[in-house]
A and B are shown apart, each in its own frame.
Chain A
C-alpha cells in the first residue's frame, strides 16, 4: 500500500453548482490557443488569417525557445489573430471544419524509443507544452533532466472536475502516457491520488509509477503540496508535472500518431442552470455550453476554478491547462453597512459571521472583494490555510521588497501563485497576493536564467 500523506491545513470552500456526472458533446465551432496561458511565452506567428490548418499544425512558436511549437487543436482555418495593447497576441482563433483531421506524426512504440526521439515527437506535434516544470510553472525545457515527474489524479479546488470521470475508459491511453513520462526522467514518476475521491482503476492500477495517496482539504491536490511532501525542491533542482487529462493526450500521440486534443470540461458555478461535463477539444469557445444554460444577471465567466482561474468573456475560450469553467455572479454592487450587518449566507473563514454555525452550507459567492486594500494587520490566518513549512507573510513581504536572497531562503522555489490563492481569499487586508507571488517568481526566473 502506498504512503498516505495527510494534509491538515487548508480550506474546502463549498460552493453551489457542482457538476453532475453526465457528459454531453459540445458542438463548438471556434477554438483558440492563447499565448498568455503559457507563462513567459513570447509568440512568433507561423500562420496568418485564412490559412488552412489541421490538428497538430503549428500556429506559433516561442521566440526565446524556438523548439517549442504551439499547434492547432482542430482542423479548419485561421479565423482571426486577436491582438491587444501594443499588438500583443491574445488569441489565435481557429474555425473548425468539423472533420478533426490531424497531421500524422506516426505511431510509435515507446519502450523502444530514445528519450530524444520521444521529446522530438512531442515538440513537433505541439503536445510538449502540457509538460511544465517547478519552480516557476513554465513549460519544461526539453534539454533538462527533472529529478521526478508528478501527475495529480485529483483536483481539490472548489467545484473542481472529477478526474476519475475525465479518464474513465481511457486506461490504455493513460498508461501509454505514463510510460512516456517514465522515459523523460531518470527519477520517479509520481501519480498522486486522493484517499477517498480516487476510485478509478485507470489511476489505481497504473503501472511503472509510484502511487502516493493524499487526503485533506484544498490545496491537497496542488502539485506543490505533493512535491513538498514527497520530494521537496531545493535550489537548483527541478521537477516536471503534467495534469492527468494531458497524460491522455501524450498517450494518444504515441498510440495513434495524431495530435488528439479531445478533453472533457466541467461547467460549474452557482449561475449555471445545468452544471455538467462537456466533451470537446482544448481551447473550445464556451459560447455553446452557456447557451440557455446560465441565469440572468451580471455574470463572471472563469476558465478554471474560482481561486486561480482566468476571467473570460461569455464568448471566450477555455485555457490550455483548464478542464473547468465556473460561472459566478459579478459583485459590482454597494452594500449598505455590509461590514456591520450580521451577514446571513456570507462566506467567511473568520467566524465573525453567523454562517460559522453551518459548516456544511454551500455558498453562492460573487466577485465582490468586500472591503478596501489595507496594510497587513491580521496575522496567523494565512498559516491556517497554507500547508507548507514556509512563512507565507514573510515570503510575501520579501517579494514585495524584491529581496532575492530572502525569497530564496524563505522557499520561493517550492511554491506557486496557486498555493497562495487561499491566503488571498481569507486575507482581511485584501492584498492581491497571487499577483505579488507571480511577480516574485518572474523576478527569480529572470535572475536565475
Chain B
C-alpha cells in the first residue's frame, strides 16, 4: 500500500493548481479518496469525528441492493427461458441475465459518473458519491431489453436536469434514478410499457404481461400466485420483482440505520390503507378494487420503491414527523394511480416523484408548527 501511496503522492502535483493536468483535479481526487481515506484532521469544532463518511453510507445501500440485483439478474434469464418452455439450471439463467443487465449497469455508470466528474471539476468540488447508488438503481428499474442509447439519454437527463442544475447531490428535488426512469418512460413508451418488454427476447406467442397490466384490464385469469409475486418469479423491471430479496435489502438498510424505517413503514401502511378503502367502497364489478390490500405491496415496484426510492434522504421529507406523512401519501397515491388511472398500470414512480415535489411543503408545515409553539411560549412568558 505504501508503494501505491508513493505513486499517488508523486502524481498529485500534476493535478494540483499550476500542474499540467489541473483540469482533471476532481477526477484524480475522486480516485485518490477512493483508494485512501484522506489525512484531513479536524480543524474547527469537535476534535473527533464519526468514522462513517458518504462513501461508506452510500456503499451500504449498494450492499443492500445486491440481493435484489442477483435475483433480478437470474430472473431475467429464468423468464426468458420460461417463455420458450425451458427450465435450465441456475447458472445458465444467471449468465443469460448478466448478459442483459451488465451492459445496462456499465452504461448507467459510465454516462452518469462521466457527467458527475465534469460538473465536479467545473465547480472545483470533490466528486459526490450519490451516483454510486443511482447508477445501480437505474438498471434495476428498467426492462431488461431497454436499448442502451435510450438508457444513456435517460441517465444524462436525470443527472444534468434532475441533479446538477440544482447544485448536485444533496440539493436535488427529485430522485435522480426515478427521474431517469420517468424520462425514458415518457420519451420512449414503446420500450417501457405494454406486455412485450418485460421479458428479454421472449417468444412472441408467450404472454409477457406483468401482474399490474393484467389487473388494470381486470384480467385475473392465470393471475400469478401470492407465492410467485412475493418471491419474484414474474416478469417486470430487472430488480423490482422479488419482494423477498428487496426486504432482505431493507433489513440491511434498517440494521445499519442508513435508511429511514419511518418512510418505509408509512409507505406500506399507505398502500394497505388505500387497498382497504377500495375493498370497502369499490363496486363489485371491479375485481381490481377487491384484491387483497397486501397484494399491492408485492406487485410491481411497490416494495422496491418503498425500500430504495422513497427513502432517498435527499428527496424525502427531512423532518421526523414529515417522513410519516411523506411515506404514507406515497403509498396511498401509488395504489390510487394503479387502480383508478386508466392509462398507467404502475403508480409508484409517479407517486414518489409527486411527493418529492411536495416533501419541502410537508417539512414547511412541520417546522411551522414548531415555530408556532415557540412563539406561543414567548407570548405566555410576556403575559406573566
Contact A370 B41 (CB under 8 A): no
Does A338 sit within 8 A of B, measured CB to CB?
A: yes
Nearest to B129 among chain A residues (CB) is A374
Contact A334 B5 (CB under 8 A): yes
With a cutoff of 8 Å between Cβ atoms, the chain B residues found around residue A64 in the complex are none
Q: Which of A289-333 contact B (CB under 8 A)?
A: 300, 302, 306-309, 311, 326, 328, 330-333
Does A145 sit within 8 A of B, measured CB to CB?
A: no
With a cutoff of 8 Å between Cβ atoms, the chain B residues found around residue A428 in the complex are 50, 52-54, 57
Contact A430 B170 (CB under 8 A): no
Task: Summarize A's interface: helix, strand, loop or mixed.
Answer: loop
Does B36 sit within 8 A of A, measured CB to CB?
A: yes
Q: Tell whether A391 pairs with B319 under 8 Å between CB atoms, given A332-B41, A378-B313, A434-B46.
A: yes
Choose the segment among A79-87, A178-186, A230-238 that binds chain B (4+ C-beta atoms closer than 8 Å): A230-238
Contact B130 A377 (CB under 8 A): yes
B 216-241 binary contact with A (CB < 8 Å = 1; else 0): 00000000000000000000000000
Q: How far is the CB of A295 from chain B (nearest CB, A)?
A: 17
Nearest to B364 among chain A residues (CB) is A394
Instruction: State A234–B373 Cα separation when bound (angstroms).
Output: 11
Choose the segment among A118-126, A190-198, A280-288, A341-349 that binds chain B (4+ C-beta atoms closer than 8 Å): A341-349
Instruction: State A237–B33 Cα separation when bound (angstroms).
Output: 48
Contact B57 A367 (CB under 8 A): no
Choose the segment among A34-42, A160-168, A249-257, A350-358 that binds chain B (4+ C-beta atoms closer than 8 Å): A350-358
Q: Which of A362-399 contact B (CB under 8 A)?
A: 365-381, 383, 389-391, 393-394
Contact B371 A409 (CB under 8 A): yes
Q: Which of B32-66 contact A (CB under 8 A)?
A: 33, 35-57, 59-60
Contact A348 B52 (CB under 8 A): yes
Does A425 sit within 8 A of B, measured CB to CB?
A: yes
Does B128 sit within 8 A of A, measured CB to CB?
A: yes
Q: How far is the CB of B44 from chain A (nearest CB, A)?
A: 4
Choose the segment among B135-143, B193-201, B256-264 that binds chain A (4+ C-beta atoms closer than 8 Å): B256-264
With a cutoff of 8 Å between Cβ atoms, the chain B residues found around residue A393 in the complex are 318
Instruction: State A429–B56 Cα separation when bound (angstroms).
Output: 11
With a cutoff of 8 Å between Cβ atoms, the chain B residues found around residue A426 in the complex are 50
A307, A343, A353, A376: which contacts B46 (Cβ < 8 A)?
A307
B39, B255, B367, B375: which contacts A332 (Cβ < 8 A)?
B39
Instruction: State A95–B92 Cα separation when bound (angstroms).
Output: 83
Number of interface residues of B (CB under 8 A): 61
Contact B48 A379 (CB under 8 A): no
Contact B370 A410 (CB under 8 A): yes
Does B20 sit within 8 A of A, measured CB to CB?
A: no
Does A448 sit within 8 A of B, measured CB to CB?
A: no
B 2-44 binary contact with A (CB < 8 Å = 1; else 0): 0011000000000000000000000000000101111111111
Contact B47 A371 (CB under 8 A): no
Q: Tell whether A339 pairs with B39 under 8 Å between CB atoms, given A410-B370, A425-B46.
A: no
Q: How far is the CB of B382 from chain A (nearest CB, A)?
A: 8
Q: Tell whether A421 pairs with B313 under 8 Å between CB atoms, given A334-B39, A339-B55.
A: no
Max chain A Cβ within 10 angstroms of own Cβ: one of B1, B52, B168, B313: B52
Does A20 sit within 8 A of B, measured CB to CB?
A: no
A306, A336, A376: which contacts B48 (Cβ < 8 A)?
A306
Does B73 sit within 8 A of A, measured CB to CB?
A: no
Number of interface residues of A (CB under 8 A): 73
Q: Tell whether A336 pairs with B4 under 8 Å between CB atoms, given A331-B41, A389-B370, A391-B367.
A: yes
Contact A13 B48 (CB under 8 A): yes
A235, A302, A340: which contacts B47 (Cβ < 8 A)?
A302
Contact A374 B50 (CB under 8 A): no
Q: Tell whether A368 pairs with B40 under 8 Å between CB atoms, given A352-B258, A380-B313, A428-B52.
A: yes
Q: Tell whether A410 pairs with B367 under 8 Å between CB atoms, given A309-B47, A334-B38, A375-B167.
A: yes
A300, A338, A349: which contacts B36 (Cβ < 8 A)?
A338
With a cutoff of 8 Å between Cβ atoms, the chain A residues found around residue B38 in the complex are 334, 371-372
Q: How far is the CB of A367 from chain B (nearest CB, A)?
A: 4
With a cutoff of 8 Å between Cβ atoms, the chain A residues found around residue B255 in the complex are 351
B 368-384 binary contact with A (CB < 8 Å = 1; else 0): 00110111011001100
Contact A366 B367 (CB under 8 A): no
B 60-93 binary contact with A (CB < 8 Å = 1; else 0): 1000000000000000000000000000000000
13 more contacts with CB within 8 A, not counting A337-B36, A417-B45, are: A235-B378, A347-B50, A352-B256, A367-B42, A368-B41, A368-B49, A379-B316, A391-B367, A409-B371, A410-B370, A424-B49, A428-B54, A435-B44
Interface, chain B (partner A; CB < 8 A): 1, 4-5, 33, 35-57, 59-60, 126, 128-130, 167-171, 255-258, 260, 313-314, 316, 318-320, 323, 363, 367, 370-371, 373-375, 377-378, 381-382
Q: Name 11 A/B residue pairs within 8 A (Cβ), A-sorted.
A: A307-B48, A311-B47, A335-B37, A367-B42, A368-B41, A371-B52, A375-B169, A375-B170, A377-B54, A379-B260, A380-B318
Give 7 closest A-B pairs by Cβ, nearest first: A371-B53, A375-B170, A338-B37, A434-B45, A234-B378, A339-B55, A346-B51
